[in-house]
Every structure is written in structure tokens, then in C-alpha cells.
Structure 1
Amino acid sequence: MGPLSFPKSRRITRSSEFRSVYQSGVRVTSRYFAAFCLPLEGEGLPSRFGFTVPRALGKAVLRNRIKRRMREAVRNQINTAPGNWAIVFNPRRSVLEAPFEDLRREVGRILERCKLS
């Protein structure tokens, strides 16, 4: 994969992984997202990211669009992400009207706040 990809090795995909981040992670909120940050065991591991969109935000087409935008915003910031973290992003309803640049900026802020927690 090229430098502009978001490799599957950097994604959280299993429900057990999501559950552990939700149960043990620190909640960080922003205007467009609630994120759960959990330090990973081990040294030098890259951060992994997960995305969940509740059905309340709309039908599948809209939820998939939201996930694509969130993935792209994270992909743009992936090199600045702190290492050894599992981070799950949950969008808020305000994400529907948000310009992409605002989403990208909010993701950067969340990554910084996860480093500090």
C-alpha cells in the first residue's frame, strides 16, 4: 500500500477490541466526535483506529458516508498520531453538516488530547 493508504493493520475491526476500548478507555469529546482512547500493551506499536456510527444518524448510505469522511480525516493525521493507542471515534449529529476541514482539525485535537490523557 502507498503512503496515502489507511492500512487494515491500523484499524480496529473486532467487536472484542471495540468493547475493551469502550470499557477501559478514556472518553474525549469534541464538537463533532466522542472518542475513546486506550493505551495499547507493548512498545512501539502503531495506533489503531475504529469508527462506529449509530443508526440514529441515518440510513446506511449516510452512515457509510460519515465513516468514509472520518476515515479520511484520520488518514490525513495518521503520521502525527501518538503511538501505542487504540482510538474509537463516534460521530455526533453535528458531523452531518460539518465541512471536511473542520473534521480534520477536530481529529487532530482529539489525537493531541489522547496523548495527554
Structure 2
Amino acid sequence: MLPEQNRLRRHSDFSDTVRRGKRSGRRNVVVHVLDRDDTGDLVRHGGPRFGLVVSKAVGPAVIRHRVARRLRHICLGLVDTVPGNTDVVIRALPGAGDATSAELERQLRANLGRLGLLVGTA
């Protein structure tokens, strides 16, 4: 489970990140990223914040919850590699329900790498 300080919770945070941030997509996930320093947000948080969007297009509730659990687990491993002033929204696409955890992680890391956010990796 992601710690509280690493979770996006407010609708406005989600919508700001999706509307004003940079985007990168792969087959099963799309990543939206917003640098909080660029927004003029005076509130400082304890590291990057992650939010998930897993719609009914992914599948029935059991599949959606499984995808969300996998993505949360992957995000937990990324907390130390993504800059602390970043909001990340991960949108699961319909194919994510059939993807393995390794595929989801590979695609997510590729998206973040494309956006230049994986600072702790070689």
C-alpha cells in the first residue's frame, strides 16, 4: 500500500495533472506527469504522489481491482526513483486487464523514462 503522502486524492489534483501535465502512453497504460513546482503550489509533500484511473473499460470489478493493486505495488517501488515534486496519474487502458505485472511495470517505467523522470536508475 502506498503511504498517504504518496497518494493523489483530490479530484482537482487528478484533473490538473491530466490537463496541464506531460503525457506518455504505451499499449496498456498512459502516464500523465505534472511538476508541482511549475504550478505555484505552495504546499510541499513528502515525495512524489501517484493516482490511478482504472475504468470499467478494463473489465469487471475483480479485474479492475487486480490491475489497481498491481499498479499500486509498482508505484511503491518507484517512490524513490521519481522526483519528489511530481504528481503522476496512471490511466489503465483496456488491455491492462490481460497484462502481467511485469508487462505493466515495464510499460510504466518506459513511460516515465520517456518523460525523463527515473532519476535513481542507471
Shared fold, TM over 0.5: yes
Q: 2:23 aligns with which of 7, 24, 27?
A: 27
For 1:65 and 1:30, locate their aligned partners in 2 and report how far apart those are by CA, in whole Å.
19
3-state SS of the aligned residue for 1:62? helix
Kindly state the Cα deviation for residue 48 of structure 1 after the two structures are TM-superposed: 0.7
Counterpart of 1:62 in structure 2 is 63
Question: Which runs of 5 or more structure 2 residues have no equivalent in the other structure?
Answer: 118-122
Kindly state the Cα deviation for residue 45 of structure 1 after the two structures are TM-superposed: 5.5
Q: Which moved more, 1:9-18 or 1:77-86?
A: 77-86
Q: Which moved more, 1:77-86 or 1:13-22?
A: 77-86
Q: 1:44 to 1:72 in 2, by over 3 A?
A: closer
For 1:38 and 1:113, locate their aligned partners in 2 and report how far apart those are by CA, in whole Å.
14
Q: Does the 8 Å contact 1:82/1:115 carry over to 2?
A: no
How many residue pairs get matched? 112
For 2:108 and 2:79, locate their aligned partners in 1 and report how far apart those are by CA, in whole Å.
10
For 2:7 and 2:46, locate their aligned partners in 1 and report how far apart those are by CA, in whole Å.
13
Question: Which runs of 5 or more structure 1 residues have no equivalent in the other structure?
Answer: none
Q: Does the 8 Å contact 2:7/2:50 carry over to 1?
A: yes
Alpha carbon RMSD of aligned pairs, Å? Answer: 2.0
Q: 2:32 aligns with which of 29, 36, 43?
A: 36
For 1:110 and 1:91, locate their aligned partners in 2 and report how far apart those are by CA, in whole Å.
13
3-state SS of the aligned residue for 1:115? coil
Aligned-residue sequence identity (percent) comes to: 29
For 1:89 and 1:44, locate their aligned partners in 2 and report how far apart those are by CA, in whole Å.
19
3-state SS of the aligned residue for 1:52? strand
Give me the TM-score of the superposition, normalised by structure 1.
0.83
Which portions of structure 1, spanning 4 or more consecutive aligned residues, are displaced by more than 4 angstroms? 42-45
Counterpart of 1:114 in structure 2 is 115
